[in-house]
Amino acid sequence: MTRDKRDEWYPVAIAAMLPPARGRDTLLLGEPIRVRAGDSGPQVETAEGRALPVTIAYGHVWTCLGTPGDLFPIPEAAQPGRRLVDVGMVRVKCSPLRAVENFLDIAHFPFVHTDILGSEPHTEVYRYDVRIRDEVDEVWATKVRFYQPQAAKSAEGGIETEYMYRVPHPTCSVLYKTSPPMPGEWDVIALFVQPLTEELCDVWPWMALYDDASSMAEMIQFQQMIFLQDRSILENQIPRRLPLDPGMESPTRADLTSIAYRRWLKRRGYTYGAQLVAA
């Protein structure tokens, strides 16, 4: 199913922290837009003053330059007992697609998030399942397992964490991982990426966690630390855009999720932030 990139919803602000009346100037798919608090909620408009559609979901304000459909569901957002965490925005000089792909990757944990999300010698990525669920048009990776020294702020020691990854939107991903205090439940961590240009993005992580012990500030700090470690990678990949053509990079079995993500992007015709011809 192909869909125009302008018809997707994109995150542009935290709903609980709207810019003042004057607004905040930002970009969406290279177009200048302004986000501000209006009398009856958030307003987003183009440079010419055209009002854009707005919706609020998962703690964020979303907008669309074209004709929006439904935003993807995250049913866990409504489950009682979860703490919903607006982590804040991190600007990254990389393709929005590179930011999502890195989020889907576990093999980097021991090297980039050393002694937190991974540690040597526990580097092996076991077999997991990946498929494109045609009925919902989403990429899903399941039965992903990884040994983690400190899986979350709430973790007290090393555990083997199980993950599920989901890509319901070209620039958004949702992961489900074993909740350290409630091993039978999944913590939910999402990455909502606002494409400013093809090589620059604002990343808005959001979480729905089972954690009654940590303060909001501690949970935010933990996730920001993780994401800033990722940023040091994302800003140093060559090329800046995500290569969709096979041959430019050498994936292995551990990269099945990213292979499926790239294939899914191609199939949808979503190439904003992609490099199509090997340079």
Matching residue, tokens 């700090």:
221
**Tokens 């011809």 sit on residue:** 277
75 to 114: interface string for other proteins, x by CB under 8 A = ------------------------------x-xx-xxx--
Backbone angles phi, psi at 257, to 5 degrees: -65, -45
As given in the structure block, the two tokens for residue 158 are: 């090393």
Asked if residue 279 binds other proteins (CB under 8 A), the reply is: no
Least Cβ distance, residue 255 to other proteins (angstroms): 8
CA–CA separation, 188 vs 38, rounded Å?
A: 31
- Could you say which of 253, 267, 269, 278 contacts other proteins (CB under 8 A)? 253
Closest approach of Cβ 233 to other proteins, in Å? Answer: 6
Among 78, 160, 215, 232, binds other proteins (CB under 8 A): 232
Q: Decide if residue 144 touches other proteins (CB under 8 A).
A: no
Determine the Cα–Cα distance for residues 26 and 32; give it in Å rounded to an integer: 6
Which of 124, 129, 160, 212 binds other proteins (CB under 8 A)? It is 124
Q: Quick one: 195 or 243, whose CB is closer to other proteins? A: 243
Q: Which is nearer to other proteins, 81 or 251 (CB)?
A: 251
Q: Name which of residues 1 to 40 contact other proteins (CB under 8 A).
A: none
Positive/negative CA dihedral, 27, 32, 35, 40: negative
Among residues 36, 233, 266, 271, the one that binds other proteins under rule CB under 8 A: 233
Shortest approach of other proteins to residue 173 CB, angstroms? 17
CB of 74 to other proteins, least distance (A): 28
Q: Does 246 sit near other proteins (CB under 8 A)? A: no
Q: Which residues of 238-254 are buried (b: 16+ CB within 10 A; e: fewer)?
A: eebbbbbeeeeeeeeeb
For 155-217, give the secondary structure using H, E and C.
CCCCEEEEEEEEEEECCEEEEEEEECCEEEEEEEEEEEEEEEECCEEEEEEEEEECCCCCCHH
Q: Is 237 in the site for other proteins (CB under 8 A)?
A: yes
Residue nearer to other proteins on the CB measure, 60 or 98: 98
Task: List residues bridging with 138 in a β-sheet.
Answer: 133
Q: What is the Cα–Cα distance from 82 to 111, expressed in whole angstroms?
A: 30
Scan residues 170-199 and list those touching other proteins (CB under 8 A): none
> How many chain residues bind other proteins (CB under 8 A)?
25
Q: What is the 3-state secondary structure (H, E, C) of 257-272?
A: HHHHHHHHHHHHCCCC
Closest CB 161 distance from other proteins, rounded Å = 16
Q: Cβ 239 to other proteins, closest distance in Å?
A: 7
- Cβ distance to other proteins smaller for residue 21 or 278: 278
Of 116, 90, 89, 140, the residue nearest 257 (C-alpha): 140
Q: Which residues contribute to the site for other proteins (CB under 8 A)?
A: 105, 107-108, 110-112, 120-121, 123-125, 232-233, 236-239, 243, 248-254
